[in-house]
Amino acid sequence: MWVYEKKLQYPVRVNKCDPRMAKFLIEQYGGADGELAAALRYLNQRYTLPDRVIGIVNDIGTEELAHLEMIATMVYKLTKDATAEQMKEAGLGPHYADHDKALYFHNAAGVPFTATYFNAKGDPITDLYEDIAAEEKARATYQWLINMTDDPDLKDGLQFLREREVVHSQRFREAVEILKEERDAKRLF
């Protein structure tokens, strides 16, 4: 069960209308290494994980939904005052034609979100290594997004998200070690 607080996990501020940057940020909204894929991956995998690590994966999956909300807020704020021409110039013409300024789950290239972006093998250690890789890819993407903006307020929010990816990767590494210890423990019968 979740309790929803009507506030973002971290404040989202932007200095200006910037649909070009919004186009890039959409990658973290509906892309393969974005927040939706991460949340669904973890919340799906938790059902076949050992009890000792379910809480870790469930907590991170839930936090990814909060990150999705932050990205949505960033994209909205970057595009809410954009004209149709600005959306077109930023490469968001097809998006605007289909959705106006509404958010839609697709990546920066406009490819719609698909469940093939994530996997669940059923082997807990394998799945956790996939989760570590997902977090590291998201961390790298956030760094590249930070590199592409000159908006200090937007950078602040993106840096927060990048650092949370680092923490998530560390937590998944801890979960792998817990499972390896359990797997390698001598069992006496």
Which residues are within 8 A (CB) of 139 and not within 5 positions of it... i.e. 6 or more apart? Answer: 162, 165, 166, 169
- On whether 99 is known to bind a ligand per the annotation, the reply is no
- On whether 168 is known to bind a ligand per the annotation, the reply is yes
- Burial, 3: exposed, middle or buried (Cβ in 10 Å; 0-12, 13-18, 19+)? exposed
- On whether 59 is known to bind a ligand per the annotation, the reply is yes
- On whether 165 is known to bind a ligand per the annotation, the reply is no
List phi, psi (to 5°) of 17. Answer: -70, 125
- On whether 89 is known to bind a ligand per the annotation, the reply is no
- On whether 67 is known to bind a ligand per the annotation, the reply is yes
**Type of residue numbered 39:** A
Is the dihedral angle over the CA atoms 160, 162, 165, 169 positive or is it negative?
negative
Cβ-count burial 39-55 (b if 16+ within 10 Å, e if not): bbbbbbbbeebeeebbe
Give yes or no for a contact between 134 and 115, defined as CB atoms under 8 angstroms apart: no
Which residues define the annotated binding site?
35, 59, 64, 67, 135, 168
Which residues define the annotated binding site for Ca(2+)?
59
Which residues define the annotated binding site for Mn(2+)?
35, 64, 67, 135, 168
